[in-house]
Structure formats: C-alpha cells, structure tokens
Structure 1
C-alpha cells in the first residue's frame, strides 16, 4: 500500500527524512480493525517525528499520521481516536503506556491503517471525510483545552496564542459557537483579520497588551509564554498543548504562585471527548477550517506547507 513514512531522522531539515512509497499491508490483531483511509490531516507531530522526537532509530521506517477518517470492512464510516494504551486496555494490554498512532504503531498517512476497534467513532453524515479527519488531534485538543481542562463557560474570556494553526482556528470556532469571548494573537496582520472573520472578538499583535483572560490557550511556547502568564487573570488558567517555538526560557514561577495561576497540560483528549466534539459539530453546524488538500502521493507538499507555517487551518491528505 502507499504510505508516507519516516525513513530517517533530520532535526534541522525534517522533510529530508520523509519517504512516500510502498509499505506492507496492516494486519488486524484481535480486537483491532483495518480501516480504509479516505482522508488524513497533518499535524506538527508528524514533523517532530521526522526530527526524531518520540521515535527511536530501530522503529524506522514508521508510517506517520495521527488523524484519519475512513471506512471499515463492513462499510461503517468512522473517524479514528489516535490514542493507544495508557491504561485503557481495548486491544492492548492495560499496562501499556499511552502512545499516539505513529509512535508505537504505524500511523494514518497511508491507504489503510490498523487500530483498536474501540478507537473507532462513527462519522456523522453531516461531516465529509476531509472535515472528520481534522478532528482527532487539533480539534480534539482545542475542545479539551477549552471545555475540559480549561473549564471555560459562556461569557468568559479566552486568549488563544498564535492564530492560524489547527488548534488555534478550532479554538476560535468552537469558543465563538459556545458563547465565549475569544481573543487571538498573531504577528501576521492577515491572520488576525481572518481570525476576526471566524468569530474572534479581538485580534492583537503578538506580545501586545490584552484584556486579562479567564483562560489562555498556549501552543507556541517560548515566543509567547511570558505573555500568556501576564495576560491571564489572577486565579485563571493557562492550558498548554504544545511548544512549536521551543520550551520557555523562564517559567515565571513567582507570578504563577503569587497570582495563584493554574497551569494545565493537555494532549489530545479521550474517546468520549471526541464523541462529544463530533456531536457538537453535527448539532451546531460548525465545521473545521481546511487550508488545503493534497493527494497522499503529494504528502511532501502538504508537510512542507505545514513546516513553513503557511497554512491557516488544517492541511489534509486525501486517499
């Protein structure tokens, strides 16, 4: 089958480790299902894998990808929850540590992928395969950041750092639909304008003074961390789900403890969170913002767009 996979690591130029070619067909173990992939969204996780983060050399070649929507052998249209193990059992031992697809088991940038049957979530007819493929990583992360770990409720103010990425655009669309006052930051004027069109209540240059937020969503890291800590209200929450610009130089611990700020980490979400997210979209009409689509054979072009930071919304591969 055709797949996009990490053949080698390159910390400085990750795309040099990418190959698109034939890989063995997946085999369904007991309590697993092989899914025919129709669409798979790209994530920064794929680029980190190509850099060698979260993988060992002896695991190569490894099929990339954590997101997918497709069809089971009995014709069921599904999207995939990409978290395996972590005490869940369900197709793996209960003591197996939590990993994401493409870390221990081959990922979704392929014509077919094997996953625990438990990880399948019904795709509603209202969502296309491309739209559904956007949900299991970026949109699920945004949902959990806002409503589970962030505890945001209608009328509260949320600051989203770094408009334009998959998590950020999801947070704007979800937050606005849920009655939150969503503020965003970006260095790019066009991205700030696009965020306002999506429903953001305010858009600011990165680092600019903003009204204090009840919840701050942080996925950028070093470039915005200090601003996040200074922009959350006393007693508020900073929810962290990434560090695309690297780890913060200083933790700002004095401000965190003195103002009783809660810092919470998030990695994707549970299968139940994904089901709730899917229902939210089906009922509200909110849809993922798709930046661009590429055929699987052009996975390199899609990942290059992601690596350059040129996207606004999700980049998706279609099979």
Structure 2
C-alpha cells in the first residue's frame, strides 16, 4: 500500500526525512480493525515526528498521521480516535502508556491503518470523509480545551493565540457556535480578516492589548505566553495544549499565584469527547474549515504547505 513515512530524522528540514511509497499493509488481529482510509488530515505532530521528536531510530520507518476517516471491512463508516492506550483506552495492555498513532503504532497517512476496534467511532452521515478526517486531533483538542477542560459558558470571552492553523480555526468556529466571544491573535492581517469571517468577535495583532478574558487557549508557548498571562482576568483560566514556539522562558509565577489564575494542561481528547464533537457538528451544521485537499501520493506537497505555515484550516490527504 502507499504510505507517507518517516525514513530518517531531519531536525533542520523535516521533509528531507519523508518517504512516500510502498509499505506493508496492516494485518488484522484480535481486538483490532483494519480501516480503509478515505481521508487523513495533517497535523504539526507529523512535522515533529519527521524531526525525530517522540520516536526512536529503531522504530523507523514509521508511517505518519493521527487523523483519519474511512471504512471497515464490514462497510462501517468510521472516524479513528488516534489516542491508543492510557487510562481510557482499550485493545492494548492496561499498563501500556498512552500514545498517538504514529508514535508506537503506524499512523493514518496510508491506504490502510490498523487500530483497536474500541477506537472507532461511527461517522455521521452528515459529514463527508474529508470533513470527518479533520476532527480527531485539532478539532478534538479545541473542543476539549473550550468545553471539557476550560468549561467555557455562553457569553464568556475567550482568547485564542494564533489564527490560521487547524486548532485555532476550530476554536473560533466552535466557540462562536456556542455563544462565546472569541478574540484571536495573528501577525498576518489576512488571517485576522478570515478569522472574523469565521465568527471571531475581534482579531488583533499578536501581543496587542485585549480586554481581559475569562479563558485563554494557549498552544504557541514562548512567543505568546506572557501575553496570555497578562490577558486573562484574575481567577481566569489558561488551557495549554502545545508549545509550537518552545517552552516559555519565564513562567510568570508571581502573576499566576497572586491573581489566582488556573493553568490547566490537556492533550487531544477522549473517545467520548470525539463522539460529542461529532454530534455537535452533525446537529448544528458547523463544519471544519478545509484549507486544501491533496492525493495521498502528493503528501510531500501537502506537508511542505504545513511546514511553511501557509494554511488556513486543515490540510487533508485523500485516498
């Protein structure tokens, strides 16, 4: 089968380690299902894998990808929950630590992927395969940050650091649909304008002063951390789900404890979160923003677009 894999680590230019070509097809085993992938979305996790983060050399080649929607052997249309194992997982030993597809087990950027059957969630008929494939990482993380961990309520003000990526656009669309006042930041004027079109109440330059917010969604890290801490109201919450620019150099602990700011971490979401997200989209008509769709064989072009930060919304590979 055709797959996009990490063949070697390339910290400086991740695409140097990418190989798109034939790989052995997965085999069925007890408690697992093989899914014929119809669509798979890209994430920054794929670029980190190509750089060697979270993988060991002896695991190579490793098929990339954490997101997919497809069809099982019995014709069931499904969305793949990409978190394997951990406290809520099934299909692997109970003491196996949590991992994402493409970390311990081959990922979704392939014609087929094997996952624990428990990880499969029915795809709503209202969603296309391309739309459904956008959800299990960025959209699931945004949903959990807003509603499960952040406990956002209609009428509250939420700051989303960054605009354009899958997580940020998901947070804008989901937040607006739920009655939140969403403020986004971006250095790019065009991305700020598009965020307003998606339902953001305000879009400002990165680092610009904003009215105090109830909740901050932080996934950038060093470049935005200080702004996040200064933008949240006393007693407010910062939910952290990434640090794409690196760890913050100063934690600003004095401001955090003095103003009683809650800092909560989250990664992805549970299978239940994914089911709730799918139901939310099916019932409201909200749909993920798709930046572009590429054939699986052209994974290099798609990953180059992601690496260049050119996207607005999700980049999807279609089989």
TM-score by length of 2: 0.99
Q: Quick one: distance in 2 between partners of 1:70 and 1:88? A: 23
**Structure 2 residue aligned with 1:61:** 61
Alignment map for 1:1-319 (pairs within 5 Å): 1-319=1-319
Q: Quick one: distance in 1 between partners of 2:78 and 2:241? A: 25
Q: Quick one: distance in 2 between partners of 1:219 and 1:73? A: 37
8 Å Cα contact 1:123/1:132 also seen in 2: yes
**Post-superposition shift, 1:89?**
4.7
Unpaired runs of 5+ residues, structure 2, are none
Q: Quick one: distance in 2 between partners of 1:177 and 1:263? A: 25
Give the secondary-structure state (helix, strand or coil) at the position aligned to 2:226: helix
1:155-197, Cα deviation, whole Å (9 max, x unpaired): 0000000011100000000000000000000000000000000
Q: CA RMSD in A?
A: 0.6
Q: Structure 1 123/307 Cα, relative in aligned 2: closer, same or farther at 3 Å?
A: same
Q: Quick one: distance in 2 between partners of 1:310 and 1:89? A: 35
**Post-superposition shift, 1:27?**
1.1
8 Å Cα contact 1:161/1:186 also seen in 2: yes
1:92-124, Cα deviation, whole Å (9 max, x unpaired): 011110000000000000000000000000001
**Post-superposition shift, 1:88?**
3.4
Q: Quick one: distance in 2 between partners of 1:85 and 1:193? A: 40
Q: Quick one: distance in 1 between partners of 2:237 and 2:11? A: 32
Q: Quick one: distance in 2 between partners of 1:205 and 1:90? A: 44
Which is further off, 277-286 or 20-29?
A: 20-29
Give the secondary-structure state (helix, strand or coil) at the position aligned to 2:141: helix
Give the secondary-structure state (helix, strand or coil) at the position aligned to 1:39: strand
Q: Quick one: distance in 2 between partners of 1:150 and 1:316? A: 28
Residue correspondences, number: 319
Q: Quick one: distance in 2 between partners of 1:87 and 1:30? A: 20
1:256-278, Cα deviation, whole Å (9 max, x unpaired): 11111111111100000000000
Q: Quick one: distance in 1 between partners of 2:262 and 2:10? A: 36
8 Å Cα contact 1:89/1:95 also seen in 2: no
Q: Quick one: distance in 2 between partners of 1:209 and 1:202? A: 12
**Post-superposition shift, 1:87?**
2.9
Q: Quick one: distance in 2 between partners of 1:252 and 1:191? A: 29
After TM superposition, which residue ranges in structure 1, 4 or more long, deviate above 6 angstroms?
Answer: none
**Post-superposition shift, 1:247?**
1.2
Q: Quick one: distance in 1 between partners of 2:89 and 2:160? A: 34
8 Å Cα contact 2:88/2:270 also seen in 1: no
Q: Quick one: distance in 2 between partners of 1:230 and 1:221? A: 14
8 Å Cα contact 1:289/1:314 also seen in 2: yes
**Post-superposition shift, 1:245?**
1.2
1:201-258, Cα deviation, whole Å (9 max, x unpaired): 0010000000111000011111101000000000111011111111111111111111
8 Å Cα contact 1:131/1:288 also seen in 2: yes
